[in-house]
Amino acid sequence: MGTPAMALAIPRTNRETRSSTQSQTSRSRCAEQARFKYAGTTCTGRIEKHRTKLTDKSKKAAKSKSSPKSSKLEPRAKPKRSNEDEQEHAEPDSSIFTPENVTVFTVDSSLVKKPIICHQYAPSTPPPSSSTVGPLPFIFTHGAGGTLSAPAVVHFCTGFSSTSASPLLAFQGSMNLGARVKGFNACRAHLESHNGPPGDAAKPLVFGGRSMGARAAVTAATELYDEVQGKQGEDGASVGARLVSVSYPLQGPNGVRDQILLDLPRGVEVLFIVGDRDAMCPLELLEEVRGKMKAKTRVVVVRGADHGMNVKPAHKTKELAEETGRVAAKWLCGEVGNEGVTLYVGEGE
């Protein structure tokens, strides 16, 4: 009987030992798990916090990288100008090439900061052989939003040169009105140095332009009028300056631009060429201003034309624009007088 008791005692001891060992192991495991759990939580917190920071940085970096590129690639909206009515928005330069009768050169002058690019259109009709000095060219310039290659400019100049015996000099200018006026003065001085003595009364001012260029032509002619001795005698019967105003922007955003027209002296003649759909030069308003002007005026109306001299159908635009140039040439040489009714170009003429 004793032996079985001892035999039973040994297993109990082993079980107790194993049980205590298992308890210790279990406690150590729990402690270890608790320690790892705490450490894991702490590390996980750091990792999550770190990842959050990286995410914010990446978002900021993505914005900083994408925003400048997108702003550079996307075309910026053009700022609205106070003279936005003068923009020649329908005159893409790429559609027009330089005609064969055009000579391109530059004019350097102390009046302007940069050399002036000029296109001189040779006349189809040579000047009289009796003339020792060639006629002074008609100086013309484009509008605020156009260039020398703008269709409205090229078509007008081409029509003019096909009829006139005088060359036409068209010059490139900036959108600044004062600088454009200086461009007229610089081109005038350049031509005088090559065509005769300055201030030659036999060669009156012959200026012109379209849209903002027409405003610059009026201002330049007023400034130079006395210098070229345009007014001879008390009655001012002689013509000292002739102006061709194409699409003059009479109606501005801040009112009517009529003062420089009213300031023109009696010795000046003005030919207005305007489309009957030009919202910037309503015919009724133009007639009202003409009635107040001292200068002699004549009007040519292009039927169906807007401010850019565009008509419908589009294939008629070139034809009518060239016709306005031919009318201007005839007016300058005296074939079309200042007296008479309004002249019309286009359908129904």
Q: pLDDT digits over 72-99, tens only?
A: 445 555 444 444 444 444 444 444 567 8
Distance, in Å, from the CA atom of 205 to the CA atom of 136, rounded to the nearest integer, reads 9
Distance CA 241, CA 218 (A): 10
Residue 306 makes CB contacts below 8 A (sequence gap 6+) with 90, 275, 277, 278, 279
pLDDT reported for residue 58: 53
Q: How do 138-141 and 205-210 pair as beta strands? A: parallel
Domains of the chain by residue range: 84-345
pLDDT of residue 39: 46
| Through-space distance between the first and last CA atoms of the chain, rounded to whole angstroms | 146
Amino acid sitting at position 334: G
Phi then psi for 315, rounded to 5 degrees? Answer: -70, -10
Can you give the pLDDT of all 349 residues of the chain as single tens digits? 455 544 444 455 455 555 555 556 566 665 555 554 444 444 444 444 444 444 555 555 555 555 444 444 455 554 444 444 444 444 444 445 678 889 999 999 999 999 999 999 999 876 655 444 445 689 999 999 889 999 999 999 999 999 998 899 999 999 999 999 999 999 999 988 876 554 444 467 899 999 999 999 999 999 887 666 544 544 444 547 899 999 999 999 999 999 999 999 888 999 999 999 999 999 999 999 999 999 999 999 999 999 999 999 999 999 999 999 999 999 998 888 877 789 999 976 5
Domain 84-345, second-level architecture: 3-Layer(aba) Sandwich (3.40)
The pLDDT score that the predictor gives to residue 193 is 84
Q: What is the DSSP annotation of 157-215?
A: HHHHHTT-SS-EEEE---S-HHHHHHHHHHHHHHHHHHHS-TT-TTS-EEEEEETHHHH
User: Do the beta carbons of residue 343 and residue 336 sit within 8 Å?
Assistant: yes
Instruction: Give the pLDDT of residue 179.
Output: 95
DSSP code of residue 88: -
